[in-house]
Structure 1
Amino acid sequence: MGSTPFKVERREATEDEVKNLRHVVDSIPNSVWIALTIGSAERFTFYAVSAPWQNYMQNKPDSIAVPGVLGLGQATATNISNAFSCFSFITPLPFAILSDSQWGRYKTLCISFLLVVCGCIVLFVTSLPQVREASGKVAGLALAMILLGLGTGGVKATVSPFIGDQYTNLAPQLVVTKKANEVTRLTNIASLSLIASTYLEKEVGFWAAYLLPLCSSWAAFPLLLFWRKSFARICFVPFYLCMNQITNNLVSQAGQTRLSGISNDTIQAFSPIACVLLCPVIQSVLYPSLQKYGTPFGPIARMTWAFIVMGAGMSIVAGLQKLIYTKGPCYQAPLACPASNGGSIPNDVSVWVQTPVYFLIAFAEILGFTTLSEYSYSKAPKDMRSLVQAFRQISAGLGSALGMALSPVAVDPKVMYLYTGLTVVMILSAPLFWVAFRNYDRIDEQMNALETNRDYSNDDLNDDLEASIKSESSSVKGVDAS
């Protein structure tokens, strides 16, 4: 006997089903995956470019323990790194305005990727061994940072709304959550490019490290060109500043420890690895379990816990810095005392003690950034989502600006006080954030319920209207027949 094929009927759930049945997310269309790949390509390029920057700027060319070029020192290198972060977080605003008012998101993405490519070209050329003048390398780095900052800003302003726009089916609240998690997962997979980049930096040279992002920066163009038709606030300032520690001061801290054969800027790869591992656990285990047992864990609650987890991470960083200072040979002056043999012998602490820090930061990133991206997109007017996304990045820019102001403290042994201060600020921010915004979770639940009821009422009205039209049509036909 032939089996009857099983057909899945797609319809809107009833109010009772929404309330009592387990919530699952819808499948993601191909156009969304394409858009996600485009965003991941930019992140791949960004991390491959920026991961070696701290060593490139901080250390001298004759450095033995860790590679370097410009020899600007930790404080200056950290200041420049924060300046770039600040610039790249501010630039989304003008691009968002142009995207929503004139260019559109597709054109804005194309222009932004072109700027990224130009920045990669400049950085690659000026990092070649044939360019021997330090002034030429500094000028090339400055120009590359400007171009990359502009390109990154344009992508940040448009890629999240661009991805969101590709899904046109019903039940947006469920889909938005999954898309936000997919964005986080793929972004962190892409950011693993820093492993290849930092190893090329160590084993071959900075020019090879920057050749990788130059090649990858072209990856998005085929998707943008050939698939075009298929594409249908202040509390976070210290949070962003804590995130910035991954790419500057934590790299410097790793350089003060026993590296066991790896580069000091490779250890930061644990952050995206942790995100990739934790994302499905949080989405598939933590959130459903809390929902099952009736524990409210809305967007505001998730972001509040993000502050707490980030504070815990910064407290461990402060503890690790204290641990480094208690070990020889240089104690509170790592790599800077005669016993370090010219900076080749670090303090007797393994670099792997940093591992828990990156897992905590990744957990905080998922709770904070993913939720903030989802919340910003779902609450913004449809024609202003790029602008809202850009304003969200302003807080990130302020965080980087704050990092610039604090860069004089990023020296031994004062840097431990920087980490301690960040810990205190994050722990204090959590209750303040919760007190200020806790009602929004309850309001969101009420608004979602009203939206659901309104949709059902509209459907009933449409059904009644359609039935009435059919009835009148039948009556007219009956009169004509007579």
Structure 2
Amino acid sequence: MSDNKDNITGPEEAQVQADAPVKLSTPQWAGLRRVPDKLPTVALLILIVELGERFTYFGLSGPIQNYINNPYDPSSDLPGALGRGQAVATALGNFFKFWAYASTVIGAVIADQYIGKFKTILVACSVYIVGLVVLVATATPKSITSGAGFGGLIAAMVLIGLGTGSIKANVTPMCAEQYRNSHPIVRTLKSGEEVLVDPELTVQRMFMWFYWVVNIGALSPLITVNVEAHHSFWLAYLIPLIAIIISAGVFISGQKKYVKVPPEGSAIVDAFRVTSIAIKEKGFENATPSALRESGHDGRYAIAREERFTNEYVMDVMRGLNSCKMFLFFPLYFVCWIQIWNNLISQAGEMALHGTPNDLLQNLDPIALCIFIPFLDIVVYPLFRKYRVNFDPVTRIFVGFMFASISMVYASVLQHYIYNSPPNSIHVWIQAPAYILVAFSEAFIIVTGLELAFTHAPKNLRSVVSALFWLTIGVSAAICIALAPVSQDPYLVWMYGSLGIVGMDDMVLRDARDCALDGAFDVLQPEKTLGAEEPDRDDRVGHLKILIGDGSGIGGTGYEKPWDCAYCWAWAYVNGLAE
């Protein structure tokens, strides 16, 4: 483990007293408070490229609605270039998001199957830079008036989308891979309290601060939209180009320090082969080498005779697929999330601006996150752990859904008042709660999704599973493209209201919780939390009690036994632990 000087520390971290994996069934450890470990400094260099990429992506996305929507008129208060209207602007903006997040799959396959994460990120940065050069060159007044702006925009969107998707699929897993400890460790705090340093909490912390860095980069529209409004679009797009070049240089400088997981040329093919066997054998538990030998079916499948085909690998693939079940519900959320980057900007254009650019308020989202994420990590989550409150991944996602839904209901009510008031009479800052509520939702949903994508993925498929998470944003963007005909007056009240109702649908949320049992509550991962040995029943019960409470009161609910909590009991029953 790294020295203290080589780590990012938090308020709960301890000086090492005993750096040895512990037996979780031991009563002495089962009641210990769980805390996260320090984060390796080398991960910061990887976060720099994400900071630069997000600065670039949001910096160019901020002005893009006005760039497409409004006509080029230097005398107008609203900046513009292409004059294609709100419906086209919203559709193209959604296409850009769809392509950017759908292309994560391309970047993931290249990394996991062929050249690895580090080289894939470098190639993606190069493609990104070429796309930005095209955008800057075709956004000059001369290019716009000559008709080259629209074609240049489409070409730039394709190149930039491919670059951003390939970076995004690989940065998160590569960053998390820099933390090498996989065992719970007992440490003593300066106060004398013994605590259990939990790798799972460390990964959660890493993704929280990753998303914090993302939102520092997302503040770039504060610069670019003002440059767009007071100077020109080409200069607004030149700033992101400089940012991605600098961040790529910083990323390259740390290449000798990174932990690099080599690609396995057959990883994706093997995962499909294992899944195929599981389908034919009616379950992953029947597709393990030991189960195939017992049933006499091992001779049917060529992969069953290969050394890498182990019980552990089959279970890894199963966990990866189970975690993806949760992702099926994320498009419902991201359709709401996307509204703050297009339709709410257009809504602001119908309000009283008083000198405020109509696309400035979108920056409230990253500003709120830059405040809220540290508050969660430093204050809220440690307080929950201190009092044994189980704020598990599924609950976090549930809370995130509720915040997003309330935001859309608020936008719907606001749109109603805009329609029934004189033109441009409602102050634009009344929009602020919609952006802040969405920001709160991101801190719970996106951070948790990234955490599940990494912790439940097979080691050689982490980029692919991460890409599947990001792909849900692409699916949402495709849904938004289909909604383009109603993303304009006079349908906006119903459009926002419908999104809020869908997000609040209690049945959908209950189904999401049930579906997540196999993934989010699949805490029995021996190779990740207990070492290589298969834990016995006492180990499993001990680990479960640590995760949901010590048995004296689960998550602060007052339940006397773990099995009294419906979801915990269902999970325990599936795993043969319920009494």
TM-score range, shorter-chain basis? 0.7 to 0.9
Q: Helix, strand or coil for the counterpart of 1:23?
A: strand
Aligned 8 A contact 2:82 2:144 in 1? no
CA distance in 2, matches of 1:61, 1:191: 26
Aligned match for 1:53, one of 49, 64, 68? 64
> Which stretches in structure 2 are left out of the alignment for 5+ residues?
1-13, 184-198, 260-326, 537-579
State the one-letter code of the partner of 1:187: V
Compute the displacement of 1:454 (Å): 6.6
Q: Helix, strand or coil for the counterpart of 1:230?
A: coil
Report the equivalent of 2:106: 94
Compute the displacement of 1:376 (Å): 0.7
Q: Helix, strand or coil for the counterpart of 2:94?
A: helix
Please show how residues 237-316 of structure 1 align to structure 2 within 5 Å: 237-316=331-410
Aligned 8 A contact 2:412 2:494 in 1? yes
CA distance in 2, matches of 1:7, 1:322: 57
Compute the displacement of 1:227 (Å): 1.1
Aligned 8 A contact 2:366 2:439 in 1? yes
CA distance in 2, matches of 1:226, 1:36: 13
CA distance in 1, matches of 2:211, 2:147: 38
Report the equivalent of 1:142: 154
Compute the displacement of 1:167 (Å): 1.6
Aligned 8 A contact 2:526 2:534 in 1? no
Aligned match for 1:11, one of 4, 19, 22? 19
1:118 to 1:18, Cα distance in 2 relative to 1, 3 A: farther
> Which stretches in structure 1 are left out of the alignment for 5+ residues?
1-5, 330-346, 459-482
> What TM-score do you get using the length of structure 1 for normalisation?
0.86
Compute the displacement of 1:159 (Å): 0.7
Aligned match for 1:28, one of 39, 64, 87? 39
Q: Which moved more, 1:238-247 or 1:268-277?
A: 238-247
Aligned 8 A contact 1:238 1:425 in 2? yes
State the one-letter code of the partner of 1:155: I
The superposition leaves residues 146-191 of structure 1 with CA deviations (integer Å, 9 ceiling, x where unpaired) of: 0101001101111111111122234431221111011111110111
1:454 to 1:112, Cα distance in 2 relative to 1, 3 A: closer
CA distance in 2, matches of 1:200, 1:314: 30
Q: Helix, strand or coil for the counterpart of 1:130?
A: helix
Compute the displacement of 1:357 (Å): 1.3
Compute the displacement of 1:24 (Å): 2.3
Report the equivalent of 1:190: 217
CA distance in 1, matches of 2:510, 2:125: 40
Aligned match for 2:514, one of 414, 431, 435? 435
Aligned 8 A contact 1:158 1:386 in 2? yes
CA distance in 1, matches of 2:377, 2:533: 27
The superposition leaves residues 93-129 of structure 1 with CA deviations (integer Å, 9 ceiling, x where unpaired) of: 1221110111110110001011111111111111112
Q: Does 1:415 align with 2:492?
A: yes
Q: Which has the higher helix share?
A: 1
Report the equivalent of 1:341: none
CA distance in 2, matches of 1:431, 1:21: 31
State the superposition RMSD in angstroms: 2.2
Q: Helix, strand or coil for the counterpart of 1:223?
A: helix
Q: Helix, strand or coil for the counterpart of 2:35?
A: coil
CA distance in 1, matches of 2:145, 2:436: 40
Aligned 8 A contact 1:51 1:198 in 2? yes
CA distance in 1, matches of 2:487, 2:15: 62
1:206 to 1:387, Cα distance in 2 relative to 1, 3 A: same
Report the equivalent of 2:480: 403
Compute the displacement of 1:140 (Å): 0.6
Q: Which moved more, 1:243-252 or 1:60-69?
A: 60-69
Aligned 8 A contact 1:70 1:134 in 2? no
Compute the displacement of 1:313 (Å): 0.9
Report the equivalent of 1:452: 530
Please show how residues 136-215 of structure 1 align to structure 2 within 5 Å: 136-171=148-183, 172-215=199-242
Aligned match for 2:245, one of 215, 218, 228? 218
Paired residues, number? 435
Compute the displacement of 1:7 (Å): 7.3
1:353 to 1:19, Cα distance in 2 relative to 1, 3 A: farther
> What TM-score do you get using the length of structure 2 for normalisation?
0.72
State the one-letter code of the partner of 1:377: F
Compute the displacement of 1:392 (Å): 1.6
Compute the displacement of 1:435 (Å): 3.4
Q: Helix, strand or coil for the counterpart of 1:412?
A: coil
Aligned 8 A contact 1:308 1:430 in 2? no
Aligned 8 A contact 1:274 1:362 in 2? yes
